[in-house]
Amino acid sequence: MPDSVELLQALIRNECVNDGTVESGFESRSVETLQEFFNNPGEVREKQRGRGSLVYRIPGTDPAAPSLMLMGHTDVVPANPDGWDVNPFAAEIREGCVWGRGAVDMLNLTATMATVFSQYLNGSIPPLPGDLVYLAVADEEGGGRYGAQFLVDEYWDLVACDYLMTEIGQPRVMTPTGPYYPITTTEKGPMWRKLHSQGVPGHGSQPYGRENAVIDMAAAITRLVQSPAPVRISDEWRAIVETGAFGELSEMLVSENLVDEAIEILAATDVGLARWVHALTHMTFSPNIVHGGVKSNVIPDSTEADVDVRVLPGHEVDDVDDHFRKALGDLYDRIEVVPAMDDYVANSSPSSGLLWEAIGDGLQAVEGTRDRFPMMVTGTTDSRFFRQRGTVAYGVGLYEHTLKPSDFAAMFHGNNERVSLESIDRTERLLFETVAAFGRRSAAG
């Protein structure tokens, strides 16, 4: 399917790098690429100059039928070429793969979705019963303020949908009873926190008895990471374990008391797998930025730290603050803990219903099996903005059968990100078959 490959290469070469600042991204370059690809101007919305998102809506034949959206983001995270074997923005094809930043996150899907959608847009396939919508969205990697959140808040009529397919599509999982295909239904919730400590400035040559803000902060961070993180065995986690992928460890992995021991057993042979299991069974705390002090000979009077906190389904805001209080102990009175951005609880869509069944049909057509299971991911995607409006959203994709889930995960925001031509072809066929099945099922239902 050369269309998707060439489009993917063009999107990578547009280098829509989003470093979190308003001036970065410049996704309007990819809006233009897609307008040319579709030979149709579509509807462009931008909150900020250069941060355009592009929408197409093909009206359905039955106003009562449910609508389906295909959504891909066009921005990517920065890439440091020093760690790469190729130029991360050249989109070279080597060893059967397209290499470049965005190859799996998620320009592969943005491109294959466009190829499937274009056949409906140009009329070579008749419209579905419900509306079919394509959205190429800006600023996913920066939190969606100039993209999905903006569109959902300001232009809901334009982007409204009952069902949504987007990232993260994941490689199949081998189990003793055969392969299972993960469909992303659930995301952990980010509840980032900023920590502040205060001290009294003075001369660094006389440290005795000082209130040094760095010492408090160092102690607070140490306590936070050494305190056992809250465990939670969610229904989503149970569904993953029930595939049988963990064999003998299954029982321990769904026990609140034994899961940490099981993670240590896994870590002995596969620390990447252990890390993933830990994140899907615990509220996690990762202190990722610390700033403090101004000069080598001045006692620091203030510090700031950023902690990336991720919560599981069932966790609330209070649970996060409770943990900080417990972990910091007497330091909690001296360290200010405040939200670093909007809090999001975990969000989820049910593993049943029209689109879930249509994806089963798609898998049956392409892979010869309907064996899929609901997957929880540790990161966030734009799905959360749509789920808040009642949309059923899934992350869907297919990869070559030899791709290991841990190798796949390492490529997200990592070095040497690449996607095989085989994966692109499989994903395109899955999306094509799923959209068609969604149409058939919504006509019947």
Taking CB under 5 A as the binding criterion, the range among 25-33, 97-105, 211-219, 313-321 that sits at the site for Zn ion is: 97-105
Angle between helices 107-121 and 421-444 (to 10 degrees): 50
Q: Please report the DSSP string for 61-80 in residue order.
A: S-TTSPPEEEEEE--B----
Q: Nearer to Zn ion by C-beta: 105 or 216? A: 105
Q: What is the DSSP letter of 112?
A: H
CB 101 within 8 Å of CB 19: no
417: contact with Zn ion by CB under 5 A: no
Taking CB under 5 A as the binding criterion, the range among 102-110, 175-183, 233-241, 389-397 that sits at the site for Zn ion is: 102-110
What is the smallest separation between the CB atom of 386 and Zn ion, expressed in angstroms?
Answer: 15
Q: Nearer to Zn ion by C-beta: 281 or 383? A: 383
Site for Zn ion (CB under 5 A): how many residues?
3
What is the smallest separation between the CB atom of 106 and Zn ion, expressed in angstroms?
Answer: 4
Q: Nearer to Zn ion by C-beta: 182 or 300? A: 182
Rg (CA), the chain: 23
Q: Nearer to Zn ion by C-beta: 147 or 439? A: 147
105: contact with Zn ion by CB under 5 A: yes
d(CA 46, CA 26): 11
What is the smallest separation between the CB atom of 418 and Zn ion, expressed in angstroms?
Answer: 15
Among 65, 68, 70, 106, the residue binding Zn ion under the rule CB under 5 A is 106
Q: Which of 147, 121, 123 is nearest to 136 (CA)?
A: 147
Phi, psi of 155 (to 5 degrees): -135, 45
Task: Give the end-to-end CA distance of the chain in Å, rounded to a whole number.
Answer: 32
Taking CB under 5 A as the binding criterion, the range among 93-101, 163-171, 257-265, 354-362 that sits at the site for Zn ion is: 163-171
Taking CB under 5 A as the binding criterion, the range among 99-107, 144-152, 176-184, 302-310 that sits at the site for Zn ion is: 99-107
Within 248-267, the residues that bind Zn ion by CB under 5 A are none
What is the smallest separation between the CB atom of 141 and Zn ion, expressed in angstroms?
Answer: 7
Q: Nearer to Zn ion by C-beta: 187 or 371? A: 187
For tokens 């997957």, the residue is 375
Taking CB under 5 A as the binding criterion, the range among 23-31, 38-46, 159-167, 354-362 that sits at the site for Zn ion is: 159-167
Within 335-374, the residues that bind Zn ion by CB under 5 A are none
What is the smallest separation between the CB atom of 416 and Zn ion, expressed in angstroms?
Answer: 17
Q: Which of 50, 51, 53 is nearest to 42 (CA)?
A: 53
Q: Nearer to Zn ion by C-beta: 382 or 433? A: 382
CB 227 within 8 Å of CB 326: yes
What is the smallest separation between the CB atom of 116 and Zn ion, expressed in angstroms?
Answer: 19
Peptide bond into 168 cis (omega under 30): yes
Q: Nearer to Zn ion by C-beta: 169 or 292? A: 169
The pair of structure tokens assigned to 76 is: 């990517």
Q: Nearer to Zn ion by C-beta: 106 or 376? A: 106
The pair of structure tokens assigned to 71 is: 């959504």
What is the smallest separation between the CB atom of 300 and Zn ion, expressed in angstroms?
Answer: 37
Within 166-205, the residues that bind Zn ion by CB under 5 A are 167
Q: What amino acid occupies position 308?
A: D
d(CA 237, CA 240): 5
What is the smallest separation between the CB atom of 104 and Zn ion, expressed in angstroms?
Answer: 9
CB 392 within 8 Å of CB 355: yes
Taking CB under 5 A as the binding criterion, the range among 82-90, 101-109, 186-194, 333-341 that sits at the site for Zn ion is: 101-109
Q: Nearer to Zn ion by C-beta: 128 or 279? A: 279
Q: Nearer to Zn ion by C-beta: 107 or 229? A: 107
Coil vs helix vs strand at 235: helix
Taking CB under 5 A as the binding criterion, the range among 1-9, 165-173, 249-257, 420-428 that sits at the site for Zn ion is: 165-173
* Strand partners of residue 183: 374
d(CA 332, CA 440): 58
Q: Please report the DSSP string for 374-416 in residue order.
A: EEEESS--THHHHHTTT-EEEE-----TT--HHHHHHHTTSTT
Q: Which residues bind Zn ion (CB under 5 A)?
A: 105-106, 167
